[in-house]
Amino acid sequence: MSKIALIAGRGALPGLLAARLGDGALLAELEGFETLSQARGDVLRFRLERLVPFLDHLQDQGVTKAVFAGGVHRPRLDPALIDPATMQLLPRIMAAMQQGDDGTLREVIALMGEWGIEVVGAQEICPELVAAPGTLGAVDVTAAQKQDAARGFDILRLTGAADVGQGCVVARGQCLALEALPGTDAMLAHLAQLRADRAALPDGGVFCKAPKPGQDRRIDLPALGPDTVTRAHAAGLGGVAFEAGGVLLIERAEMIARADALGLALWAREGA
């Protein structure tokens, strides 16, 4: 009998998917990125140094599909923990890691396929996680915000092609911030601090979020949630624009309610 595995990282998304998948799913978590195992005891923990034994275990358990959910970053490998079978894959894995996040993720998908495991996107499990084009909530996006979003998506096409982040902030056509390895929260917190320090920045602005060009959308789609809305407001922004169908909305109803309460526009923009 075939089974699906949930490979979990940090954040709220793994819990949402685990609830949707039910008792038939195999739940696994990369050591060092625990979230799901803090709430339940049926989570298998694994290390990249023992990747082959982990994939063998999935195969033995009848897993034919896998979904990745939650935030991770490239962990440091401990050579002393690498088993012989995984050691044979190490040159291939290291070469992929040198190609950046996208190259690493493509290699992960390829390896899973070699074990007969198909990787599926979180949006296939929960289609409601992605939005159709249009404004969400009660606050309409303005013409000026649409112009800033267009500029932001132009920027994301360039930075995404260089494997640098999936978000930026634009106000009056000027790029105020770019998301890099520290992530969205750090970017918005830095911008909020600049505002507090009365830096010479244009008022308002839009936080833009989109997948990278050519990204395999079965894995590592960008995500937004209620806390992002709060941080965008604290950074003095007037809206959040994201690619329709290309960004996962965590706790969507709460995210919209919070945006309405704070007067922020939420706009699912068609196309990148």
Q: Which domains does the chain have, with CATH numbers?
A: 3-125 (3.40.50.20), 130-269 (3.40.140.80)
What is the predicted pLDDT for the residue at 100? 67
Give 57 or 216, the one with higher predicted confidence: 57
Please state the rounded mean pLDDT for residues 156-176: 91
pLDDT given for residue 25 in this prediction: 94
CB 48 within 8 A of CB 57: no
The mean-pLDDT minimum among 51-60, 97-106, 183-192 falls in 97-106
Decide which of 262 and 34 is more confident.
262
Burial 109-118 (b: 16+ CB within 10 A, else e): bebbeeeebe
State mean pLDDT over 124-136: 94
Q: Is the pLDDT of residue 3 over 80?
A: yes
Judged against a pLDDT cut of 90, whether residue 98 lies above it is answered with no
The mean pLDDT value of the chain amounts to 90
* Over residues 35-52, mean pLDDT: 87
- Residue scoring higher pLDDT (6 or 2): 6
| Residue 95 predicted with pLDDT over 60 | yes
Beta bridge partners of 43: 27
Give 170's strand partners: 175, 206
Confidence of residue 32 (pLDDT cuts 50, 70, 90): confident
- More confident of the two residues 12 and 2: 12
DSSP 140: P
pLDDT per residue as tens digits for the range 58-80: 999 999 999 998 877 666 778 88
**CA dist., res. 102 & res. 29, Å (int):** 20
Q: What is the pLDDT of residue 1?
A: 54
pLDDT above 90 as % of the chain: 67
Cα-Cα-Cα-Cα dihedral of 59, 64, 69, 72, to 10°?
40
What is the average per-residue pLDDT within 1-18? 88
In the prediction, which pLDDT does 57 show? 95
Pairing of strands 239-243, 3-8: unpaired
Taking the model in full, what pTM does it have?
0.86
pLDDT band for position 234 (cuts 50, 70, 90): very high
Q: What is the model's pLDDT at position 272?
A: 58
165-188 mean pLDDT: 92
Position 101 scores a pLDDT of: 65
Residue 122 sits at the vertex; the CA angle it makes with 117 and 36, to the nearest 5 degrees, is 90
pLDDT (mean) for 185-200? 93
Residue 155 confidence (pLDDT): 95
Check if the beta carbon of residue 81 is closer than 8 Å to that of residue 53.
no
